[in-house]
Amino acid sequence: MDLTTVWFVLIAVLWTGYFVLEGFDFGVGMLFPVLGRDDPPDLEGGHTAETKKRVMLSTIGPVWDGNEVWLLTAGGATFAAFPHWYATLFSGFYLPLLLILVALIVRALGFDYRGKVDDPVWRRRWDVAIVCGSFVPALLWGVAFTNIVLGVPIDAEMEYTGSLLTLLNPAALLGGVTTTCLFAAYGAMFLALKTDGTIRHQARGLSLRLGLAATALAAGWLVVVHAQVGTAASWTAAGVGAALLIGALATVPSGHEGRAFALAFGAIAFSVASLFLALFPDVMPSSTDPAFSLTTTNAASTANTLTIMTWVAVVFTPIVIAYQAWTYWTFRQRVSGHHIPTAVAAASTRTGEPGGGPTH
């Protein structure tokens, strides 16, 4: 296996890591208006909307910013290993990627600032920022990756020749709706795993309903993609992903949240892997002429650059993975309403503290 293939695989792993980790973050944010509501007054163990929202934020507080490191690393690795891929992608997809970046920034501000002022209006405005900042990336990543795999107009100079409307084709929009629904279901499974009390039961029921819709959408999307560019390997990975997602839904009613979440984790991982398997050896196929496609060969950096990057990856990748695994293990406990102080204290906004919103 040459270094160009090695780095294609590593970038695929980085993107897979990003989606399986950041996916449930997006889901938690999108479910704010659904699960972050007052429980009925006569419900035993019920909580106010604010308490439930703070429980939801506390589940992702210690990990959400670490999950975004996978995105930064994937972008940096693409820039260094395949500069022509990076240049064509970021010029042709400039507006969608800009919207994703703005949404992620707005979401981070919502996490940091919603608990700084004890005012309901202040918190509601930042809640909108969190919801929008979660929904927009969940939608646009599906649109972007569908276009990348199916191909976009690229000329002989490796320049994108389409427009924004070119990217908003039916297959890509189906991909965006699929990832949005899938991440919402995934987020509900994560909340069922990480919380206790009424929100746990509500999240479990919601994950089943959203999961059924996500399964139907994902099946249609993967068939559309792989029917056009699929290989035996990509079809196999997609089939495994579909089976794992069905298994996750079958596990939800039994109350084994950890097993259901692990199966959903695997489903997303295999689905993303199937896209990269369908893409290889291209990195951005040209719908104008296959001869103009960017491949792992013509889009790559020099051999010396790839060699240096490989040694850096060998040294630092295990350290990063070990640290993040330690973080998840440290904050593995469930969070419930009784962990949240009755008064909303602006001072209780340290990272991962159940009493406040997650911050850096």
| DSSP structure class, residue 294 | E
More reliable by pLDDT, 309 or 348: 309
Given a contact cutoff of 8 angstroms between Cβ atoms, the answer to whether 154 and 284 are in contact is yes
- Spell out where the chain has E strands: 282-284, 294-295
State how far the Cα of 260 lies from the Cα of 254, in Å rounded to an integer: 9
Average pLDDT over residues 111-118: 88
Residue with tokens 């209780």: 348
Residue 107 confidence (pLDDT) above 50 = yes
Percent of the chain scored above 70 by pLDDT?
91
> Is the predicted pLDDT of residue 350 greater than 50, yes or no?
no
Torsion of CA 68, 73, 75, 78, to 10 degrees: -160
Q: What's the pLDDT score for residue 347?
A: 35
Whether the predicted pLDDT of 352 surpasses 50 = no
Calpha distance 26→12 (Å, rounded): 20
The mean pLDDT of 150-175, rounded to a whole number, is 93
Query: Counting Cβ atoms within 10 Å, is residue 172 exposed (0-12), middle (13-18) or buried (19+)?
Result: buried
How many whole angstroms from its chain centre is CA 199? 22
pLDDT tens profile 8-27: 999 999 999 999 999 999 99
Confidence of residue 339 (pLDDT cuts 50, 70, 90): low
Q: Is 352 left (phi over 0), alpha (psi -120 to 50) or beta?
A: left
Is this prediction's pTM over 0.75? yes
Cβ distance 87 to 154 under 8 Å?
A: no
Residues 199/49, Cβ–Cβ less than 8 Å:
no
pLDDT, the chain, mean? 89
Tell me the chain's radius of gyration from C-alpha atoms.
Answer: 21
Percent of the chain residues past pLDDT 90, beyond the cut: 72
Q: What is the pLDDT of residues 226-258, one digit of tens each?
A: 999 989 999 999 999 999 999 999 999 888 899
| Tokens 């990057």 belong to residue | 309
Q: Would you state the pLDDT for residue 320?
A: 86
CB environment 89-126: b (16+ within 10 A), e (fewer):
beebbeebbeebeebbebbbebbbbbbbeeeeeebeeb
pLDDT digits (tens, 9 = 90+) for 293-323: 999 999 999 999 999 999 999 998 888 889 8
pLDDT at 57 over 50: yes
In this predicted structure, the answer to whether residue 7 has a pLDDT above a threshold of 50 is yes
Segments making up each domain of the chain, as ranges? 3-339
Q: Report the pLDDT averaged over residues 56-77.
A: 91
Alpha carbons 267 and 26: distance in angstroms, whole number: 17
Q: What is the pLDDT of residue 353?
A: 41
3 state SS of 177: helix
Report, as an integer, the average pLDDT of 141-156: 95
- Surface-to-core class of residue 24, CB atoms within 10 Å of its CB (0-12 exposed, 13-18 middle, 19+ buried): buried
Which residues are within 8 A (CB) of 243 and not within 5 positions of it... i.e. 6 or more apart? Answer: none
